[in-house]
Amino acid sequence: MQQEKKKGDFRVVNHAIPRRDGRAKVTGRATYVSDVKLVGMAWAKVLRSPYPHAKIISIDTSKAAARPGVYGVLTGNDLEGINPYYGHAVKDHPLLAIGKVRYVGEPVAAVVAVDERTAFEALEFIEVKYEELKPVLTHDEAMAKDAPLLHDRVFEAGALRGFEGDTTAGKGSNICQAHHIQWGNVEEAFKNAAAVVEGEYYFPMTYAYAMEAYVAIADVNDNGVTVYSSAQHPFMVRHDLKAIFNLPVSQVRLVVPFVGGGYGSKSYTKIEPLAAACSWKFKRPVKLQLTIEEAMLTTRSDDALTWMRTAVDANGKIIARQAKILMNTGAYAENSPLVVEKSTNRCVGPYSIPNVQIDNYSFYTNTVPASSYRGFGCAQVTLPGESQIDELAAKIGKDSYEFRVMNAAKNGEEFFPKMRPFEGSLKQDLDIAAKALRWNEPAPKGRAKSIACSTSDAGAYPLTSTAIRVHADGSVTILTGSTELGQGSHTVLPQIAAEELGIPFDKVHVMSSDTAITPYDRSTGASRTTTLMGSAMIDACREAIQQMVAMAADVLKVKTEQIQVIPGGIRAGEIQLNWSQIISKYYALPDGEVIGRAYIRKAGRFAQIPVFWETVSTGVEVAIDEETGKIDVEKLVTVGDVGLAINPALAEGQDIGAATMGLGTGLYEELVYEGSQLMNGSILEYRLPRFKDTAKEIELNLVENQDGAGPYGAKGGGEGSLNSMAANIANAVARATGVRIRHAPLTPERVWRALKEQKAK
């Protein structure tokens, strides 16, 4: 824990400084990949499969290729010379369908042309002959004895390290991944329980909807591969591209300018290999910009069908939880094997439960591939988990808030065997939520309240490096591999550097996410940037200061022990020098620089996984129109247990954003398949949260006990308040009407139907 200063001591950190990129973004001056043009750049457009599962018999591209303005057409038959399979967990994903298509919407061919419209207009001149195969669309169909196999070979592993499990993909079944955790004796505990609740819950497939759809510009030439991309994790994409083109790391460059929202949907490799293959084949830079509708055919979240039971003893102590989860992961593994592992862990919740058994399976099906989604499997299992907490409390006649407090994991408790002990103050968080909701006062007629909570083993893998350059004029450039997705890294990281170096915030600037320039950072996800990159920032600043102390000693002809570091510089006896003076005197010119470096690895304070526990409590008060089943959110409360908010306004912004996304999945959002066809694959049909849906009253709270492993005791935030929102909605409906709905989203018709069925009983 890097925690010398206490809350109240900070000069720059822990202040709500306006975000660095705010003005550029609201005035339209911020550069995104879609704004980037390269000399001689062509455009690609993708032909997609109309079938869920089919053999490709032949592709005739001659008519499309002959059209004016078309440079050529790339198909799965043209990929000799590169390794066309990629994948973060297992390399099961061809950059274009090779011999077979596995979902409606899978890329089959790409036209490369002088402009986007010309490429698009040529698509319908490509003639593809398919032979349809029996599709596998659901968990049940995937498990059936005579189910066709989506993949019939074992794949090479991808870059997913720190992944404890062994992938099961391609081993003779449609199981993409299985993961199990177990401690205590579940059977025994349920036998001796005073009360048990049991049920089956469904959390739907969702689309993350980043306002910016996937976009990449690739330039493959004799010098290597350069790709401008909307990727969250440029270094992970580099890994895939390096393997595809069999190049050294130094010849693969990913450049990521501002990203228009990620929410997990832009983690890992997406369209970069296809754009790069187009550039490689037709020997010019190629831009591939998907539409939102195409993005919806690229990545979604895993759905989850969860059977769960939870038991208490006579004192109201939770003694056991068991669950079996089935996830539909679509045609390719992407990052879902890790989603499986994380959702398994996250079934436990922030509770101390002595007997646990969770079994989780994800299945390949002929649907859009699923992958990371904000919260990473946590929302899927928090719907059952937090529903059952309320169901159990009701069953034993306890107040659900008090029941949570009583079973909450305590700070320092090893509530999850072999993991980092719990770091947080859940009781305090729940108390704040209860107070904000006036928990003790009854809700007005037609309304009800709910409080819920979650904790996630967050932070992904601790491998992060950074460099800071202190210039001779005393200003600073940060080199960071963390991507600015809107979460605020371009503001938070300079705040930390300014704090450490004792200089104004305005003197620190960021250069981010260019793998040829910025040091390695494994990912920008799992709420990890503040904790890991923030810690690296402190280390790099302190290392730079050490160097400058040595320089000052040299310049002043004193021993380093005689030098005292003060804000913005040093003091040696009567002499004070700022960083600019030290550097200028050292080089004997007002020029030059000092480079501070830091490397974070799975060691020291980050030796234990997870990097931190992301713990959030949320609460709602909802109004239910029983005639239509429509739910309105009257009040929303979030309590982020963030250790220390480096920028409180940004931390709150993340919490309300995630909670709103969670409301979406609680109330409206779901990808609807009818057979093999995605029925609502456009934002006209896919119902996202709107301003009108946001709560009439919102209270955002941050708990800052400086108890995290990150900078000054900070922990990550940004995902947690999503996780418990669907459960909150279901719990509030149950409290208002007595009807328990175990299927998200709680759409008006679903609520109306449940109420109707209850009345019929």
Partner 1 sequence: MMPLRRFTIDQPKSVKEAAEMLAHHGENGRLYAGGTELLLAMKHDLLRYEHLVDVKTVPDLNTISVGNNNLHIGATVTHRAVERSAEAREHCPVLVDMEHNVANVRVRATGTLGGNLCFAEPHSDPAALLLALGAHVHVAGKNGERKLNIDELIQGAYETAIAPDELMTGVDIPLAAKSRRAAYMKFQIKERPTLGLALVLDVDGGNIKSARAVVGSISPKPARSDQVDKILAGSRADVEKRLADAAQELAKVADPVDDLEGSAEYKRHLVGVFLKRAFIKALS
> Which chain residues interact with partner 1 by CB under 8 A?
45, 116-117, 120-121, 291-293, 627-628, 630, 668, 672, 679-680, 682, 684-685, 687, 747-749, 752-753
Give the pair of three-digit tokens for residue 339.
Answer: 């989603």
| Nearest residue (CB) to partner 1, 74 versus 113 | 113
Burial environment of residue 96 by CB neighbours within 10 A (0 to 12, 13 to 18, 19 or more): buried
Please give the Cα distance from 295 to 57 (Å, whole number).
Answer: 27
Q: How far is the CB of 66 from partner 1 (least distance, A)?
A: 18
| Helix or strand run (H / E) with residue 225 | strand 224-229
Q: Minimum distance between the CB of residue 747 and partner 1, rounded to whole angstroms?
A: 7
**Backbone φ and ψ of 671, nearest 5°:** -85, 125
Q: What is the bridge-based pairing of β-strands 612-625 and 175-183?
A: unpaired
Of 293 and 402, which CB lies nearer to partner 1 in the complex structure?
293
We find the least distance from the C-beta atom of residue 56 to partner 1, in angstroms, to be: 23
Q: How far is the CB of 116 from partner 1 (least distance, A)?
A: 5
Closest distance between partner 1 and the C-beta of residue 664, in Å?
12
Question: Residue 549 has which token pair?
Answer: 């102390």
Compare residues 292 and 538 and give the one whose CB is closer to partner 1. Answer: 292
Q: Which is nearer to partner 1, 215 or 348 (CB)?
A: 215
**Positive or negative CA dihedral for 703, 707, 708, 714?**
positive
Bond from prior residue into 610 cis (ω within 30 degrees of 0) = yes
- Which residue, 124 or 156, has its beta carbon nearer to partner 1? 124
Nearer of residues 120 and 520 to partner 1, judged by Cβ: 120
**Please, which residue, 561 or 627, has the CB nearer to partner 1?**
627
Contact 521, 481 (CB under 8 A): yes
Q: Tokens 């008090």: give the residue.
A: 402
**58/291 with CB nearer partner 1:** 291
Q: Which residue has the tokens 């309304």?
A: 447
Give me the least distance between CB of 291 and partner 1, in Å please: 5
Closer Cβ to partner 1, 187 or 749, answer by number: 749
CA-to-CA distance for 491 and 16, rounded, in angstroms? 10
Choose between 588 and 760: whose C-beta lies nearer to partner 1.
760
Least distance in Å: CB of 51 to partner 1? Answer: 19
Phi, psi of 478 (to 5 degrees): -90, 135
Nearest to 102 by CA among 46, 167, 50, 172: 50
Q: Report the nearest approach of partner 1 to the CB of residue 47 (Å).
A: 12
Tell me the closest approach of the beta carbon of residue 630 to partner 1, in angstroms.
7
Q: Which two tokens stand for residue 323?
A: 């669950």
Classify residue 740 as exposed, middle or buried by CB count within 10 Å of its CB (0-12, 13-18, 19+): middle
C-alpha 535, offset from chain centre: 20
Q: Which two tokens stand for residue 340?
A: 């499986």
User: If we measure between CA atoms, which residue out of 325, 308, 336, 328 comes closest to residue 360?
Assistant: 325
| Distance of alpha carbon 229 from alpha carbon 238, whole angstroms | 11
Q: How far apart are CA 73 and CA 168, in angstroms?
A: 35
Q: Which is nearer to partner 1, 193 or 726 (CB)?
A: 726
Of 743, 387, 739, 439, nearest to 619 (Cα)? 439
Q: How far is the CB of 687 from partner 1 (least distance, A)?
A: 5
Residue 80 vs 674, nearer CB to partner 1? 674
Cα–Cα nearest to 596, from 540, 552, 518: 540
Q: How far is the CB of 749 from partner 1 (least distance, A)?
A: 5
Q: How far is the CB of 117 from partner 1 (least distance, A)?
A: 4
Structural contact between residues 638 and 700, judged by C-beta atoms closer than 8 angstroms:
yes
Q: In what order do the strands lie in the sheet with 612-625?
A: 447-458, 612-625, 630-641, 697-703
User: What residues are paired with 596 via a beta bridge?
Assistant: 468
Q: How far is the CB of 119 from partner 1 (least distance, A)?
A: 9
Give the 3-state secondary structure percentages of the chain, helix then strand then coil, rounded to 5.
30, 30, 40
Helix (H) or strand (E) holding 579, with range, is: helix 579-587
Residues 691, 734, 750, 204, Cα dihedral to 10°? 70
